[in-house]
Amino acid sequence: MSTVSDYFGSLVFDDRVMRSTLSADVYASLRKTIDEGKELDIGVANAVAEAMKTWAVSKGATHFTHWFQPLTGITAEKHDSFISPAPDGSVIMEFSGKELIKGEPDASSFPSGGLRATFEARGYTAWDPTSYAFIKGKTLCIPTAFCSYGGHALDKKTPLLRSMESLSKQALRILRLFGNDTAKRVVSSVGPEQEYFLITKEMYDARPDLRFTGRTLFGAKPPKGQELDDHYFGVIKPGVTAFMEDLNDELWKLGILAKTEHNEVAPAQHELAPIYTTTNVATDHNQLTMEIMQKVAAKHGLVCLLHEKPFAGVNGSGKHYNWSIATDGGQNLLSPGDTPHENAQFLLFLCAVIKAVDDYQDLLRISVATAGNDHRLGANEAPPAVISIVLGDELNAVLEAIETDTPYAGTRRMQMKLGVDVLPKFNRDTTDRNRTSPFAFTGNKFEFRMLGSSNSIACANIMLNAAVAESLRIYADRLEKAEDFETALHEMIKKTIKDHKRIIFNGNGYDDAWIREATEERGLLNYRTTADCMPHLLDEKNVKMLTSLGVFTVDELKSRRDIMLENYCKSVLIEANTMISMVKRNIAPAITRFTADLARQAAEKKAILPGLACGYETGLIETLSALTDSIAAKTEELETAVTALGDEADIVEEAARIRDTILPKMSELRIPCDAAETLTEKSYWPFPTYGDLLFSVK
């Protein structure tokens, strides 16, 4: 049997393969492109393409594709085979440098938010050599960026690469000020912890709501849910173990560093965490992971649910996004060092993040906004929609000491003079961690906890990288001109703490009192829904920051806002229509059938014993009839609200209207349906219940 190290990365055209299949010159040029962004000349591209094709064909590949991430949030691919006719009637397998570097998919069906008129359907994809090519099935997949012919980004990778570039540039300016002349790049890294649910395919197929919308729109609470806390880290069931083993194999072959797996809080909920890597590669890997989870589940007769809130009243799924920045030499800039000098630098980078998160709370909220995630944020399991940072007691005390020029009273009492004193060693607390905070410092990285399980991590990457780049830019502008670096540095750190300490909160983020304090006393933002936050993408300060750093153009921002809002509206409307159909075709008829049978049974009893009251049957008939009337009325209200849509002036208005009129009516309709479920004999109920779904995998 082969071991993991034998087949790890066997489907990836990685550095090992490059080194062994390319000539020394070609390899060196390609490395320069990968590491330093140097342009690739066509001769080198041809040689790389040839080697890639030979390698891929030897692994059974017949096709190649430019693999990209359009704004739909998933990935896209159009396959071309390598075959080319030879004069003697046979075929040869061909792949040129031109085909490797640039593709021209007909892009008219991907959302562009008006950036590309349909008559000008073509967009182009451009090879991203910083993310390795890989084989999926019989296809060589080449990670690419996707742009319109006007040069506008139509995907998530392009702005991500731009944000990484911008962060690197600004961080290097700071490092130079600290005397670092050797670092060539600063890279952001991320390790996304992915949560998901597994249910059997049989159960899934029996639920139209899951099939059409990814979440259950009805369902009474099961007698047993997550009350006993017996699932988290519990023994993994055999069906799930088999799935996880297969999943790991598939991911490892693709060079994805799947590392940790465990059961999560809710029944049927699990988590997979990879080892962190560069944000760009981590984004590609996370997209692939989500895709492969679904494929492997299907092989096991299961369905992997990636929706943020598949079950009401049961924990939803998120994605903890662990983020740090480091030099190409491997120095983690968010790790407190051993010398006063390193510590001053650490504190400056820390402050840059604090300032970024406070200044751009709205952009971080926007980066995780979807109709699905709106059900999770603030629902007592995920962090609230209000963004705050937790730093831990020790670091907090250090910042307070700096702000107030008082001695730090930690493990060692000391005056905090930057550049002079050594910071105390911070414990990397793993036990007593504040899990209610949306943004937590965890020793040498930050953990952003608001991402939904189905979100592409590109969006959070882009906003966080850009916002931190902006803080660093402001710092560098000032420090480069300072007469006395030490004093200017100290003052700037102090000022950041003073100006932005409102964003730091170490208490319970799930507490209602915090939401009140955050919004009323501290003036923090609380955008509950996608419809609330998304319009702010175009706020002047946001447009100014993102365009001046070159991460987005104004047109790209406008198009993204529109696409995200359209997506929100469409998602909710599909849910509303699914509800209406399920009620009319299944739920209401089922209750009616049950009550009619009850009535018949009561009548039969009375026929034998005329004196019987039949209180049980009559009571139940009465209650269920009242519920059915309520269901009918609420369905009609929802239908009327849906029909009334459509005359809004713009998408912002339409989204607001959907938030205000459709979503509340959907919640109201659900109540009598779930109540009826608990009273209806099981064989009459048309759908598997929560109990069936959550405990379906053995």
Look at residue 430 and give the partner it binds from Mg ion, ligand ADP, none, a contact being a CB closer than 5 to 8 Å depending on partner kind: ligand ADP
Options 28-36, 186-194, 204-212, 244-252: segment touching ligand ADP (CB under 6 A): 186-194
Long-range contacts of 300-304 (CB under 8 A, 24+ apart): 300/239, 300/242, 300/243, 300/246, 301/200, 301/201, 301/202, 302/198, 302/199, 302/200, 302/201, 302/239, 302/243, 302/697, 303/198, 303/199, 303/200, 303/201, 303/204, 303/210, 304/196, 304/197, 304/198
Q: Which of 435, 438, 244, 418 is nearest to 344 (CA)?
A: 418
319-327 and 446-448 strand pairing: antiparallel
Regarding beta strands 413-414 and 277-278, do their DSSP bridges make them parallel or antiparallel, or are they unpaired? unpaired
Residue 445 interacting with ligand ADP (CB under 6 A):
yes
Nearer to Mg ion, 217 or 325 (CB): 325
Establish if 273 lies at the interface with ligand ADP (CB under 6 A).
Answer: yes
Name residues contacting ligand ADP, limited to 299-328 (CB under 6 A): 322-324
Q: Which stretch binds ligand ADP (CB under 6 A): 232-240, 274-282, 580-588, 664-672?
A: 274-282
Note whether 430 binds ligand ADP by CB under 6 A: yes
**Span from 30-38, 437-445, 642-650, 672-680 in contact with ligand ADP (CB under 6 A):** 437-445
**Site membership for ligand ADP, residue 332 (CB under 6 A):** yes
Cβ-based neighbour number of residue 430 at 10 Å: 8
- The DSSP bridge pattern shows strands 258-263 and 277-278 to be unpaired
Applying CB under 5 A, what is the total number of residues that bind Mg ion? 1
Q: Which stretch binds ligand ADP (CB under 6 A): 53-61, 270-278, 336-344, 620-628?
A: 270-278
| Distance of alpha carbon 4 from alpha carbon 12, whole angstroms | 14
| C-alpha span between 231 and 390 (Å, rounded) | 27
* Closer residue to Mg ion, CB minimum distance, 112 or 269: 269
Residue nearest to Mg ion (CB): 320
> Which of the ranges 50-58, 115-123, 273-281, 388-396 carries the binding residues for ligand ADP, by CB under 6 A?
273-281
* Residue 287: alpha-carbon gap to chain centroid: 9
368 binds ligand ADP (CB under 6 A): no
- What is the per-residue burial (b if ≥16 Cβ within 10 Å, else e) of 631-666? beebbeebbebbeeeeeeeebbebbbbbbebbbebb
Closest CA to 568 of 528, 527, 531: 531
Among 83, 275, 298, 409, the residue binding ligand ADP under the rule CB under 6 A is: 275
Least distance in angstroms from the C-beta of 322 to ligand ADP: 3
- The yes or no reply on residue 90 touching ligand ADP (CB under 6 A) is no
* Residue 274, binding choice from Mg ion, ligand ADP, none, Cβ under 5 to 8 Å by partner class: ligand ADP
Q: Does 551 bind ligand ADP (CB under 6 A)?
A: no
Under the binding rule (CB under 6 A), the answer on residue 444 touching ligand ADP is yes
Give the one residue of 95, 276, 448, 594 binding ligand ADP; rule: CB under 6 A. 276
Q: Rounded CA gap, 51 and 45, in Å? A: 10
Q: Which helix (H) or strand (E) holds 448?
A: strand 446-448
> Residue 294, Cβ neighbours under 10 Å: how many?
15
When the beta carbons of 389 and 663 are compared against Mg ion, the nearer one is 389
If the CB atoms of residues 103 and 316 are measured against Mg ion, the closer one turns out to be 316
Binding pattern for the stretch 281-320 against Mg ion, x by CB under 5 A and - elsewhere: ---------------------------------------x
The answer to whether residue 286 forms part of the interface with ligand ADP (CB under 6 A) is no
d(CA 441, CA 448) in angstroms, rounded, equals: 9
Binding site for ligand ADP (CB under 6 A): 189-191, 193, 273-276, 322-324, 332, 430, 442, 444-445
Binding site for Mg ion (CB under 5 A): 320
